[in-house]
Each structure stands twice: as C-alpha cells, then as structure tokens.
Structure 1
Amino acid sequence: MTTVEPQEPRNAIKTAPAHWEEVARLFSLGGDAAGCWCQWFRLTSPEWRAMKVPQRKDLMRRQFAEEERPPGLLAFVDGQAVGWAAVAPQDCYPRLDHLQLVQRSRKHAPTPEGELWAVTCFVVARTHRRQGVAGTLLDAAVGFAREHGADWVDGYPVDVAARPKATSSGLFHGTVSLFEQGGFEHVYDGVPGRALMRRRA
C-alpha cells in the first residue's frame, strides 16, 4: 500500500530572513515602501530630509551587504515574496530616541534589563492583505530576534480604535490588535492613537 504524504496548502505563508533582491522586488510594487525603503527609523530627521529616494534605496542595499544579519524578514506565498517586517536591535533605530511615545514611556516604565530589539515596519502586498501575513511575520520576527540574542522585543503600533480613519499607509507600524495577538503587552499608551508594546523574546 502506498502512503501519500499530506501536501502543504498552496497558500501557506512561509517566512525567511530577507535577501536584497526579493525585498527590492516587493518594494518596487509601489506604495510608501518605494519611497521610504524602510529607512524612516534608521535615520534622524535631518538625515531623512537630506536624503533622496534613490539614496534611501542604496542605503538599504548596503545594509544587506554590510551588516552581519539581514535587517528584516520576508513572507512568501507560493514562492512569491508578499510581505516584509523590519526587526533589529533597538539601537539600530536612532529615531526611536526622539519619538514622543518612547520618550514619555521611559518616565512611566523602566527599560527592561537585557538586549532589546524592535519590530518597526511592515509591508504587505495589496494582493495579500488581511490574509495573516503580518501576524505570521510578527511571530517570525520575535523568533529571529530570540535566535540572535534578544531578551525583549518592542513594537510601536497604531490603535485603530483611536484612529479609525487611518489608511493602510499609516499602519506600517502594525496595529495594536496585531501585537496583542502576537503576545505583546501594553507598556505605555499615553500618546493618542499609539502604543508601546513589549514581549519577552
């Protein structure tokens, strides 16, 4: 009798550490990612204003080439890259120190001991939104951070209950419900429409 192994559903979401060529292909599909190239948190405000889009793209390409680990993960469906999440040690993101949300949170909740990472951005292809891609990426990002020495992982999502008119382009941080489903707890939500959320890696 021949045993037939069950096949994985064709639309199963897989994740993997990102590589430049697939990220460039995903970002080239349009949307805000094609203008930001995931550099918003990696640059100070003056650096951001001084840098044109092609320079941001080149900077991201160099990060892939020069850093010891990729700056994020990709999600794949049927072999096609359909989503991205940026995840790295918090000190890779200098803009975080200037965010009102982060500054205020430090007065209310101490920074935890150990290595702190952050999930800062999500990009999901229009064709695959509301299909669990971001949630799968968030779970994988926590695992990736843990494998590379993280003790804690932070996120800075949007509270859509407080910002019901937020567009998809305004939700690149992720949503509070997404992070809640990923096991993150509220650390601080004293800035309307935003929350600092954290979980142990």
Structure 2
Amino acid sequence: MNVRVVPANEASWEDLTAVFGGSYPGRCRCQRFKVVGWIWRDSTQEERSEALRAQTACGDPDAPATSGLVAYADGEPAGWVAVEPRVAYPKLRTMPVPWSGRQEDKDDPDVWAVTCFAVRAGYRGRGLTYDLAKAAVGFARERGARALEAYPMITEPGKVITWGELHVGARQVFEEAGFTEVAHPTKRRVVMRVDIQ
C-alpha cells in the first residue's frame, strides 16, 4: 500500500467520516476524554460529530489547529489518529491510567497525547496504526511539543481484544515509533512517552 498521512484539516469531513464508519471510535468520535458529563454516551452522536468536526477543522488547510491525522491508503481514506496537546483532553486529568505512580504537571501544554486510532473496515490488519503513530510524533514535533504520550494496551498472542478496546493502540505500535514505557498502571495498560525536544 502507498500510505500518505495528512493533518485532519487537510482532509475532507467526508473522508474522515468514511474512516470512522460504524466502529467504536466512530460512535465516540474521539470525545471520550473531552465531553461534558460522566461518560461520552451522555452526549448525542450528533453533538459528538459536531464537536469533532470543529476540533479537526476538516477541509480548512489554513486552520491554526487540528486534532488529528488522516491516513490515505492508495488514495482512499483509511485511518485516523487523535493527537493534540494533552490539556485538550480534560478527562485525562482525572483518570488513573495516565497518572498512577507519576508526579507530573497535568497542565503542561508542551506535552501532547495520542488517545485514539480508527482504521476503516477493509484496511485493518495492514499496519496503518504504525504509520499513524510515527506520523503523530512528527506532527507533534512540528507544532512544538516537548513530549508525546500514549496509553496503549498490552496485547497477547492469540487473545482477542473485544468491543474496540484497542482504539488506544497496542504497545508494540508505539515501541516501533520510538516511545518507551514510563508507567505500567494496570495489567493491560501502559503509559508510553517519547521526548521530542
């Protein structure tokens, strides 16, 4: 596959919508760590879609900011990764996974985070998350991030991951992109980080 990754504001809203389809991230629209309320399902699908549309600025290449990257495989929209300053995700401040055993300024705007992947049906299992993770590092670097974090799952050979849990990515994807483990807060989740500057 010929893979090209672009900032979401350089992609169309129709392309991003095609990537999400009916997947777990497609229902959440990467609002899990952003929505007001107890859980993302306290908002409507329409509210989450409108929020993502505003956050990505899809179709506006001159937008001053965007919230992720879109991957094209052989010219077709195929994948997405949410990546932006960690402070853009207010719910990360209160969740145990990012902070267990860590003493760090939660409001540091120079630390960015990767929170979600989505790969379009028909393109899964082809390594697109690896391309997206590597591109996320470059994207954060270009925009002045000091570090980039991720909160992936540990996968086990032969064990099936259910109901979209892997939307946060797999540990090996981030290892390949140069991240190292900085915390292991639960049996199945790790915090990984790459220092950029």
Q: Same fold (TM over 0.5)?
A: yes
Deviation at 1:111, TM superposition (A): 5.4
Alignment of 1:41-190 (within 5 A): 41-46=33-38, 48-65=40-57, 68-107=64-103, 110=104, 115-161=110-156, 164-167=159-162, 169-190=164-185
For the 8 Å contact 1:120–1:173, the answer to whether it is kept is yes
Helix, strand or coil at the partner of 1:70: coil
Counterparts in 2 of 1:151 and 1:73: CA distance versus 1, 3 Å: same
- What's 1:23 paired with? 16
Deviation at 1:164, TM superposition (A): 3.1
- Percent same amino acid at aligned positions? 34
Q: Comparing both structures, which one devotes a greater share of its residues to helix?
A: 1
Relative to structure 2, which stretch is displaced further, 191-200 or 162-171?
162-171
The structure 1 residue matched to 2:191, chosen from 192, 196, 200, is 196
For the 8 Å contact 1:153–1:200, the answer to whether it is kept is yes
> RMSD in angstroms over aligned alpha carbons?
2.4
Deviation at 1:166, TM superposition (A): 1.7
User: How far apart are the structure 1 equivalents of 2:140 and 2:80?
Assistant: 15
Counterparts in 2 of 1:47 and 1:114: CA distance versus 1, 3 Å: closer
Q: Which residue identity does 1:63 align to in structure 2?
A: Q
1:14-41 per-residue CA deviation (whole Å, 9 max, x = no partner) reads 11111333212222x2111221111112
Deviation at 1:114, TM superposition (A): 7.5
Larger Rg: 1
TM-score (norm 2): 0.86
User: How far apart are the structure 1 equivalents of 2:157 and 2:95?
Assistant: 19
User: How far apart are the structure 1 equivalents of 2:37 and 2:152?
Assistant: 20
User: How far apart are the structure 2 equivalents of 1:181 and 1:156?
Assistant: 15
Counterparts in 2 of 1:58 and 1:105: CA distance versus 1, 3 Å: same
1:19-70 per-residue CA deviation (whole Å, 9 max, x = no partner) reads 333212222x211122111111222543634311111111111223497312
For the 8 Å contact 1:42–1:93, the answer to whether it is kept is yes
Q: Which residue identity does 1:21 align to in structure 2?
A: E
Q: Which residue identity does 2:86 align to in structure 1?
A: Q
Deviation at 1:75, TM superposition (A): 0.7
Helix, strand or coil at the partner of 1:46: coil
Q: Which residue identity does 1:41 align to in structure 2?
A: F
Helix, strand or coil at the partner of 1:106: coil
TM-score (norm 1): 0.84
User: How far apart are the structure 2 equivalents of 1:49 and 1:30?
Assistant: 15
Deviation at 1:128, TM superposition (A): 1.3
